[in-house]
Amino acid sequence: MSIAEPIHVNELPKPGEISRLKDNYIEGEPLKLILQDEQHLTETLWWPSKSNDENYILFVIPGNPGVIDYYVEFLSTVHSELEKKIDIVGASMLGHSYGPHNLGLKNLYSLQDQIDHKIQFIDKLKSRFTSQGGEKQPKFIICGHSIGAYIGAQVLKARPNHGIEMVYALYPTLQHIVKTPNGIMMNVSYLSSLVLAASFVSNLRYFIPPAFFKFLVSSLTRQKESMLNITLSALLHGHVVENTLYMASSEMETVCELDEEFYRENLGKFIFYFSEGDKWAPLEHYEDMKKRFPEGKVLLCEKNTPHAFVLSHGDIIGKIVAGWIVSKTTRDLTIDN
């Protein structure tokens, strides 16, 4: 599915405003928005609900690289499986994608900067989806992938009274990233080399024909066409790549000991989803979480899907996540009645 040019807005439009902002909007497709607040322009994808009587909002926090366009197949599957009865909002990481929201910016954003940004973002979502008069409050489900799962946990910690009912931690990097198989490989000196290599590759686009550059990136990444186009248009730009690697370095310095007390206190709000071959959230982390929290929802993927599932298995994981939401909302309706 192709993503149209973004629309600049100060908040998510009300249902009646969508057709005014986008003449040819097709129900069920994501709206690409540049959401503005006092400090940032945030690249945002929003799947508006057809009918959302329970006011559930799925807030999606990507991994690193934090390009929300990579998540379109995954989130479109979730939206379709739920018959468009839930609003889905995903936000790119600051500085992780090239576009009108990030032109000429030279800021480097740490992990803490990204956490602060997602806290501000959910504040904005809460304001938007709270009914006039405050009678109807939004019910948030945070879906965080990789480091996005860690960020989602920090958002819950900072906003415990915001109506965050669940956090789905997909392939979660929650502890000792630097000691994981990939973390060991990506030591500081290696990251420095990567910065130089990435800068070289991204700058190649200005010196060789676009078709050859695309062939080169395709040969290196083996990505399917839709994902390759996102990599070329959004990710492979010098300062964007530098930002993703700067954040990776910050992650490895910050994410160390597991905050066991916090997860124990909020265990009923989490689903932890691991995969056996994952080199960022390895099997040892799954086993550790099962041992610490035997009563928790600590799951292992039966299909051994890759850490970067959105590139090739978005539909599979989308159906799984949709199933969790159906189970939760059905259970809530039963309790309410």
49 found inside a domain: yes
277 found inside a domain: yes
303 found inside a domain: yes
What is the chain's pLDDT, residue by residue, as a tens digit (337 residues)? 556 678 889 888 887 788 777 777 777 789 999 998 778 899 999 999 988 778 999 999 999 999 999 999 999 999 999 999 999 999 999 999 998 887 766 789 999 999 999 999 999 999 999 976 667 899 999 999 999 999 999 999 999 999 999 999 999 999 999 999 999 887 655 666 666 766 676 677 778 888 988 988 898 899 999 999 999 989 988 888 889 988 998 999 999 999 999 999 999 999 999 999 999 999 999 999 999 999 999 999 999 999 999 999 999 999 999 999 999 877 664 444 3
Residue-number span of the structural domain to which 270 is assigned:
7-177+257-336
300 found inside a domain: yes
287 Cβ contact list (under 8 Å, min separation 6):
none
**Phi first, then psi: what are they for 281, rounded to 5°?**
-125, 75
Tokens representing 37 are 């607040």
pLDDT for res 307: 98
Q: pTM for the full model?
A: 0.93
8-state DSSP, 232: I
Which residues, in sequence order, are bridge partners of residue 300?
274
User: How much is the CA Rg of the chain, to the nearest whole Å?
Assistant: 19
127 found inside a domain: yes
Tokens representing 173 are 């990097």
Domain count along the chain? 1
311 found inside a domain: yes
d(CA 285, CA 291): 10
